Structure 1
Amino acid sequence: MLLASIILHAVQPIRNERSTASIYHLLQGKRSAQTLQDAHMYGLTNLFGIYPKLSRELFDQLAQDLLENKIQVTETPIPYFDGMAYQSQTDTFLYRLLLLLQMLSNQANGEKHYIPVTDQAQVQYWVKQLYRQKQLQLGHWRSCLYEELYGLLEKLPEMQAGLFVDRISGYQHIGLTAAQLAVKYNLQVVDVPLYQTSTIHYFLDQVRANKSLFPYLGTLVEQPKQQSHTITSTAHKTRMMLERGLTLDQIAAARGLTENTIKDHIVEMTWLEGRRLASRFIGEADAAVIMDCAEKTGTNKLKQIHATLNGKYDYFQIRMALALRNEQEVET
């Protein structure tokens, strides 16, 4: 079971330091300061938001069964994911592509009446606009999209490529449901969305890296949001006030929040955007001492690092240093 393998993979770096609930929030893509920090601190950014519709009940039951060894998991290779990069684009790209393929297939056969594969109004509007703009070039679009998709799919494992192809609807043809795909490919139903998300992340990664090779698929990619939107909206408000020169207590008072919450925002910014604000709160020498302690003790536990350093640094400084350590690891 792929989901079980992913949970076990995520448990390894965080065991004894965070609860299993943190893994659930990670897979679901909860955009809280804590979950974003966990993703970076434990090297799990690729899994962030890869299963937004995962139910808590299913996750808790599966996690409990794994903990009690009630289920034996054959180690399953985890396919490509880049959730932190593509979480916000996955669904839009997928449904634009599925609806566009459905439209092109029906248009080629003169069929104007069919039930669209998605009822998302924004996706339907996007495909309609493309149809109006390119209606004299649809035959060319059809062949070029086929070539681009074929080139990508032939590099995927056969089962994963088949899952995607069998999902596609077209002229007088309805794509298979998750349950039908699970039966056909001998999978657990809960694993089907994971493989499909992996496929879309692979598409997006290849399109981004090779824009000239995939101009038609590239058209379907939603423009990435500005960098300021990678942090939570509440942290963004805090950053704007910091940039105006306000102190932590002034920001907390103005926003009606605790100073600890404002510190959470600053740590979040540091995890996601590097040392832009860090020097205002911790010097490089002090950060290096904390990083070295975390390395030698082999833990990210704030309490343990705090005790090992005899209380010389407060928890905020330790969290900032751990966030800066993440930046150094990325740079190397």
Structure 2
Amino acid sequence: MVRYIDGLLLFVLNQMNGERTISGALHLLKGKKSSQTIQDAKLFRLSFLFGMQRTLDRSHIEESVSILYNNGFLERTSQDTYKLNEKGKVSLEGFLKQHPFPVYLNGWKYHQITEDFWARISLFMQTLSHSVNSNMNFYPVIRDELTQEWVRKHFPAKPEKRMKVARNLYKELTKVLGTLPEPHARIFVLRLSGFHRTGLTLQQSCSSLNISNEEGSMMFYGVIHACITHTRDDPKTYPVFSSFVENKRLPVPLTASTRTTYSLLQKGMTFQQIMEIRKLKKSTIEDHVVEIAINVADFSIDAFVSKESQKDILKASNETNSQRLKTIRDHLNDKYGYFEIRLTLCKEGV
């Protein structure tokens, strides 16, 4: 039986199929917002794990790889690059049966609003709990001034309104938690503070449930993402939750620089014009276009890669069973450039 972090790493390395180093796995789990990591998340179907292990560092990954390698689960393909062997795949299968990933977990989709949602709901519930018990003398669990200002702005002014909101919030929360495994619901509830109740830290909650911090983090984020998903799918059923997600539409998760490039593309500017205006290299603009293709559903790549070329590239990826750009380019006898291949694979989510 492997530790949770080891099983998680087995999953990520298996998805990457020996085509990325362990640094790629670390950057993805920590949520590094670089073009390469964002593209890897899409290419290897790992977007849901983006940023879900933010406290990991290089030493954790190296220790895990060492354990897995020494126990015969991995084979080294090159420096810092590993693939699962048959023993590793059997172990991974067992791990996933014992520790299925939270159904609603979606790190990349919700990474921009996850922390805000948690900060708002935790402070709002703490304040509401003290208010309905006629005791406003408490130490706020969230010290962030923007969150405190948000709670002050949205907090009901009249006592009878507070009671109604309290009942609705309890109803909404129990409705979502009722759809989730009991340990997942429990770790979320353990972290909530209220009247005569101090919420636990994530580490304390994990210790209470006798699970690792890595698994507890996944469970906890899974609950937050479940709340957000249900709210966005059915806002009328979750009116209080809806107020915690201030923007009804999720912002397109583009990095700031890519957002500027996207704005210029929407104005009909060419690669060359954008390079001159922004004083950036062509490769940087290409990275931006790939990021846009990943995150903007209705963004067409036909202007950059013809439909026929896209078909050729996707066929080559299937024939080689690879997302490695060089492998596909070699298979196609250098017919297409790396940008065309990368853009096609990322848009299609091969």
TM-score, normalization: structure 2? 0.85
Q: 1:140 deviation in Å?
A: 0.8
Task: Read off the aligned partner of 1:34 and give its amino acid letter.
Answer: Q
Structure 2, unaligned runs of 5 or more: 74-90
C-alpha spacing 1:314/1:275, structure 2 compared with 1 (3 Å)? farther
Task: Read off the aligned partner of 2:294 and give its amino acid letter.
Answer: W
| Aligned partners of 2:190 and 2:199 also within 8 Å | yes
Q: 1:258 deviation in Å?
A: 1.7
In structure 2, what is the equivalent of residue 203 of structure 1?
Answer: 227
Q: 2:238 aligns with which of 206, 211, 214?
A: 214
Cα distance in structure 2, aligned partners of 1:222 and 1:70: 49
Q: 1:68 deviation in Å?
A: 3.2
Task: Read off the aligned partner of 2:310 and give its amino acid letter.
Answer: A
Structure richer in helix, relative to its length: 1
C-alpha spacing 1:135/1:24, structure 2 compared with 1 (3 Å)? farther
| Aligned partners of 2:53 and 2:214 also within 8 Å | no
Aligned residues: 326
Q: 1:94 aligns with which of 111, 118, 134?
A: 118
Q: 1:271 aligns with which of 285, 294, 303?
A: 294
In structure 2, what is the equivalent of residue 141 of structure 1?
Answer: 165
Q: 1:224 deviation in Å?
A: 5.5
In structure 2, what is the equivalent of residue 9 of structure 1?
Answer: 11
Cα distance in structure 1, aligned partners of 2:226 and 2:299: 31
| Aligned partners of 2:22 and 2:61 also within 8 Å | no
State the Cα RMSD in Å: 2.3
Task: Read off the aligned partner of 2:348 and give its amino acid letter.
Answer: R
Q: 1:203 deviation in Å?
A: 1.2
Q: 1:7 deviation in Å?
A: 2.2
In structure 2, what is the equivalent of residue 125 of structure 1?
Answer: 149
| Aligned partners of 1:2 and 1:78 also within 8 Å | no
SS at match of 1:294: helix
Q: 2:270 aligns with which of 247, 255, 274?
A: 247
| Aligned partners of 1:275 and 1:324 also within 8 Å | no
| Aligned partners of 1:89 and 1:221 also within 8 Å | yes
Q: 2:343 aligns with which of 283, 304, 320?
A: 320
Q: 1:320 deviation in Å?
A: 2.2
| Aligned partners of 2:101 and 2:218 also within 8 Å | no
Deviation string 1:76-119 (CA, Å, 9 cap, x unpaired) is 22122111221111111112111111111111222121111111
Matched, 1:288 2:290: no
Task: Read off the aligned partner of 1:190 and give its amino acid letter.
Answer: E
Q: 1:2 deviation in Å?
A: 3.7
| Aligned partners of 2:271 and 2:285 also within 8 Å | yes
Q: 1:34 aligns with which of 33, 36, 59?
A: 36
Task: Read off the aligned partner of 2:236 and give its amino acid letter.
Answer: S
Cα distance in structure 1, aligned partners of 2:72 and 2:140: 42
Task: Read off the aligned partner of 2:6 and give its amino acid letter.
Answer: A
C-alpha spacing 1:108/1:143, structure 2 compared with 1 (3 Å)? same
Identity between Structure 1 and Structure 2 (%): 29
TM-score, normalization: structure 1? 0.89
C-alpha spacing 1:134/1:85, structure 2 compared with 1 (3 Å)? farther
Q: 1:213 deviation in Å?
A: 1.6
| Aligned partners of 1:93 and 1:222 also within 8 Å | no
In structure 1, what is the equivalent of residue 285 of structure 2?
Answer: 262
Task: Read off the aligned partner of 1:279 and give its amino acid letter.
Answer: D
C-alpha spacing 1:292/1:209, structure 2 compared with 1 (3 Å)? same
C-alpha spacing 1:34/1:175, structure 2 compared with 1 (3 Å)? same
